[in-house]
Structure 1
Amino acid sequence: MSVFAQYARDATPRRGDRGRAGVVLLSAAFVLVLLLGIVPTPYVIEQPGPVYDTLGTSEHEGTNRPLISIPSQETFPTTGELNLLTVSVLGSPETPPHWLDVATAWFDPSKAVVPVESVFPPDVSRKERDEENRVLMVNSQRDAIAAALLELGYEVPGVITVQGIVEGEPAEGIVEEGDRITSVNGTAVTDYGELQDLIAKNGSDRPVELGLTRDGSAMTLQVTPRQREDASVIGVLVTTDYTFPFDVSIQLDDVGGPSAGMMFALGIIDKLEPGELTGGENIAGTGTIDAQGVVGPIGGIRQKLYGAERAGADYFLAPARNCDEVVGHVPDGLDVFAVSTLDDSLAVLKAVADDTSLADLPRCAAE
């Protein structure tokens, strides 16, 4: 036997060696999977959250109550659904998801993997974030009531009142709780949407001039906004106090933020007007709204599209300013319309209810 043949034969792994190598590889794979399952990540996962029918009921303290109730006015029977969508977040700075969760979410079109700081900014405490979301939801409900009643021809005067000042923000030491903001850079404001838009328009490179009343006295103050992500902020928590002609109650627990405003407004109109706004169809949607009925963009539009599809919706009302995120992410069988105002939304619902052509209604399209 040649030396080469002897070397070749000795270099061939014996059966026992192959068995040991397999055990080592399997063990390594097991350890890798185990690590992926327990090692935290710098991400959180956004996914479709609960869906609520504004024409239906919601649970409150163990009992089901109408999500929208208008006790002193005649209301009319409704059919179909006007569903508002939510986004739930898997993970937090304290309990981030593991790599195995993240890897799975990357391949799920209904989920989004985002940096943890984009949902939980490090300079904002959990208490501050929860309070801000609570105030945003309260404001969205009041704005929705105002928009609906103005659409129906009622007069609805409004006043913006400061509820709190965020510690360390520009307004601290200048604006006080209880102040009533009446103007921004000389332009009168009557709701949160107008206030937010004018501060954004001012930017963070120069002071913004706030007209307000404090203890009955009118004054003008200057605050220089700071840039936080893609918004200019001064760090005040405000509510808009409208004078409504009658009480409208919205009951929805454990949901924060302003994105349900448009669907609240549609639900109120449907209850107060004879006929069926939905035509008996399952319609979902999302979008902020101000008292003038302007529909604004929201976060998590992709997750809300899939939430609507899972809730059985056939039609979806999407803010026109979210169209760039809608295109290419519409689940099969969901008909999506782009809306910029409350009137746009009502036009879609009328066409659906009347079973007329939907071809000419605005939709999101690729540029």
Structure 2
Amino acid sequence: MPRRTATLLASTLLLIALLCAGVLIKVPYAEMSPGPTVNTLGKHDGDPVLNIKDEPGHKGEPKQYRASGHLNMTTVRVTGSEYRMNLVEAVSGWLRHDGVVVPHSTLYPDNKSAQQVDQENAEEFSASQESAKVAALKELKIPVSSHVVVSSVLKGGPAEKKLHGGDVVTAVDGKPVGEPESVAEVVTQHKPGQKTTFTVIPAAKAAASQKKGQEPSPKDAKKVTLTTEKAKDDGRAVVGIQPGAGHSFPFEIDIKLADIGGPSAGLMFALGIVDKLTPADLTGGKFVAGTGTIDDKGKVGEIGGIQMKTVAARAKGAKFFLTPAGNCPSAAKDKPGGLTLVKTTSIHNALDSLKKIRSGKTDQLTQCKPG
């Protein structure tokens, strides 16, 4: 066999061997890529994403308005928790413009199961919907009342099977509680092993009242006595719950969007609610997308995977992207062509930017700049 042919054959066999090894070798990485984007003003899988219900019995039934244009929330697609990339996939992901390869533990921490990660994402998504409703209605000067609820119950803790997620806490040891922090303040006055009494309105009865646009009724309250235990971190008395803020709305706002997790859609949900409840067409028919967490006061927070979301939005047709201020520097470094990144700090700030967009005063927008 000629030397040149032998060398070519050996090189080919070596390349094949390396490719096979690359396919077989698993690496501890996961990939993030652009996910679906959904118009909060439209429908998803045949149902309205935002459904504001004018049901009999509600206090002050809302007038709704038609909204044109787009206010798209954006997502990031990630590889599954059980999936293990091979070396070829990892290298390919590193070279791609529209994908990011990150350590597997970044998305799925070693100390948490896949079920725990999914549960946390679901809880964050639910909380973001609640905050979006509160922020939107407060921006519209529509009264929203607040109360303390049981956000979660620790498995194996004193409250398990006695308190449940969604229970409204009105008092602890007879002392009214108006903020989530107030619960811990009263409980920690005890020594571990001592009893404490919660006055709660069960979740089902509270939900039934809220569906009618009414406050949870004190007549539905019951007392639950718990024996405190010692916290593992600092030894204080605890009962194994996470208190949070719940709200009563003057009408029902239903957000339907399955298979989405995390808190990053909060801003776009809030803007969609405002658009449906005000005569002004917020986008003026323009295609606007965005992302960002939102709290009850309307403050917008940064999120992860910003580059993936801007790519997804532009591919869908967006011309403007509402970008949390904290994400601006990284988003502007690799901005898709034809997409204007609008720096956003709050729902009020976002509404001001939308006013400039629909009136054609886009030169007045505060755009993101590379850090």
Tell me whether the two structures share a fold, i.e. TM-score over 0.5. Answer: yes
Maintained 8 Å contact 1:182/1:211: no
For 1:214, the aligned partner's letter is: F
Alignment of 1:337-356 (within 5 A): 337-356=342-361
SS of residue paired to 1:307: helix
Q: Deviations over 1:147-166 (max 9, x none)?
A: 11111111111234234245
Q: Deviations over 1:193-247 (max 9, x none)?
A: xx8xxxxxxxxxxxx9545782358999996879xxxxxxxx9666642100001
SS of residue paired to 2:149: strand
User: Which residue does 2:253 correspond to in 1?
Assistant: 248
CA distance in structure 2 between the partners assigned to 1:338 and 1:321 by the alignment: 9
User: Which residue does 2:72 correspond to in 1?
Assistant: 83
Q: What is the aligned length?
A: 319
Match of 1:71 among 37, 41, 53: 53
Per-residue deviation, 1:324: 3.1
User: Which residue does 1:97 correspond to in 2?
Assistant: 85
Change (3 A) 1:266 1:33: same
Q: Percent identity?
A: 33
| TM-score of the two chains, using structure 2 as the length reference | 0.77
Change (3 A) 1:91 1:78: same
Bigger radius of gyration among the two? 1
Q: Deviations over 1:21-57 (max 9, x none)?
A: 3212101101211222232111101111011000111
Maintained 8 Å contact 2:147/2:178: no
SS of residue paired to 1:343: helix
Change (3 A) 1:85 1:214: same
Change (3 A) 1:301 1:224: farther
Where in structure 1 are there 5+ consecutive unaligned residues? Answer: 1-14, 196-207, 227-234
Maintained 8 Å contact 1:142/1:240: no
For 1:132, the aligned partner's letter is: E
Maintained 8 Å contact 2:122/2:262: yes
For 1:295, the aligned partner's letter is: V
SS of residue paired to 2:322: strand
Q: Which runs of 4+ in 1 moved over 3 A?
A: 165-168, 172-183, 187-190, 208-213, 216-226, 235-240
Which has the higher mean CA deviation after the structures are superposed, 43-52 or 67-76? 67-76
Per-residue deviation, 1:319: 0.7
| TM-score of the two chains, using structure 1 as the length reference | 0.78
SS of residue paired to 2:77: strand
CA distance in structure 2 between the partners assigned to 1:210 and 1:122 by the alignment: 33
Alignment of 1:1-367 (within 5 A): 16-59=2-45, 64-72=46-54, 73-92=62-81, 94-165=82-153, 177=164, 189=179, 210=185, 214-216=198-200, 240-359=245-364, 361-367=365-371
Q: Deviations over 1:153-183 (max 9, x none)?
A: 1111123423424569xxx568965576899
User: Which residue does 1:201 correspond to in 2?
Assistant: none
CA RMSD of aligned residues (A): 3.1
SS of residue paired to 2:333: coil
Change (3 A) 1:65 1:98: same
Q: Deviations over 1:99-127 (max 9, x none)?
A: 22211221223211110001001111112
